[in-house]
Structure 1
Amino acid sequence: MSKVIISTDKAPAAIGTYSQAVKIGTTVYLSGQIPLVPETMQMVSENFAEQTQQVFENLTAVCQAAGGSLNDMVKVNIFLTDLSNFATVNEIMSKHFSAPYPARAAVQVSALPRGAQVEIDGVMEVPSTN
C-alpha cells in the first residue's frame, strides 16, 4: 500500500518536517494541531478555551481533507501544558464529537510549539482510500 499525504489550506501549514496527515489504506494518522489560525499562522489567542476550539477546528479541516470527520477518529491524544484545563477540554470536545467517543489519552507536558497551551493529534478510520 502506498501512503497518501493529506494537505489542506483550511488548517495551519506544517511548521516543521511533517505532513498534516498521512493516509495508509483506510487509516489516517493526523499530526498534532496547535491553535494557529490557518490564514495568519498566528495563535488564535491566549485564552485556553479559544485555543482548544481552534485546535478542534484545525483537526476538523484535516479530517475533511482526508475524506472523513472528527467522528471517524478512533484515537485522540491530548497534550496540555496545565492539566487543570482538562475539564475545559472535555466540555469543548463534547461539542465536536458524538458517542461512541474515540479512545483518548490526555497528558501534561512542560511546553508545546509556539507557546500553545494545547495540542491534539490522533488516528482516523475512513471508508476508502479515494
Structure 2
Amino acid sequence: MKKIISTDQAPAAIGPYSQAIKTNGSLLFVSGQIPLNPKTGNIVEGGIVAQTTRVLDSLKAILSAADCTLDSVIKTTVYLKDISDFATVNEVYAKYFTQNCPARVCIEVANLPKDALVEIDVIAAAAE
C-alpha cells in the first residue's frame, strides 16, 4: 500500500514522479529535490549555500506534509555537481541535521536537472 505525499510548500514534480511516497505507514521515500523556488519553478540564485538551503527547506516541507520531521530521516543521498562544494554543503546540512544524524551518501555527478549544483533525496521513518 502506498500514499502519495505532496505540498505546495516545495516545488511541484517536473516529471512523472511524486514528491514523496509513504509505504505501509512505516517508510517515507522523498524524491530528490533540486533548488527550485516552489512559486516560480526557477533555480534559486546565490550559489551553493542558497541552493543547498532551498533543497533542505523543500525536503523539510515535504516531510512535514507527511507528518514527519528532519529527525525522522534515516538516510540521505546528496548529489553534487562539484565535489569541491562538499565542505560548504556540509556546513549548511549540519544546521538542519543537528543530532542523531541520518546515514548519508554524497557523490559527484556529471550534471543535475536544470543545471542545479545540488540535489538531495531522503528516506524517513514515517509515523503510522
Do Structure 1 and Structure 2 share a fold, with TM-score over 0.5? yes
Alignment-derived partner of residue 5 in structure 2: 6
Alignment-derived partner of residue 58 in structure 1: 58
Counterpart residue type for residue 115 of structure 2: G
Could you tell me whether the CA contact under 8 Å between 2:22 and 2:126 is conserved in 1?
Answer: no
Determine helix, strand or coil for the equivalent of 1:75.
strand
So what's the TM-score if we normalise by structure 2? Answer: 0.97
Alignment-derived partner of residue 127 in structure 1: 127
Stretches (4+) displaced over 4 A: none
Q: Deviations over 1:42-78 (max 9, x none)?
A: 1111511100000000000000001101121000000
Alignment-derived partner of residue 18 in structure 2: 19
Q: Deviations over 1:86-122 (max 9, x none)?
A: 0111100111112110000000000000010000001
- Alignment map for 1:1-130 (pairs within 5 Å): 2-24=1-23, 25-128=25-128
Unmatched segments (≥5 aa) in structure 2? none
- Once residues 33 and 126 of structure 2 are traced to their aligned partners in structure 1, the CA distance between those partners, rounded to angstroms, is 19
Unmatched segments (≥5 aa) in structure 1? none
So what's the TM-score if we normalise by structure 1? Answer: 0.95
Counterpart residue type for residue 20 of structure 1: Q
Could you tell me whether the CA contact under 8 Å between 2:26 and 2:126 is conserved in 1?
Answer: yes
CA RMSD of aligned residues (A): 0.8
Could you tell me whether the CA contact under 8 Å between 2:79 and 2:107 is conserved in 1?
Answer: yes
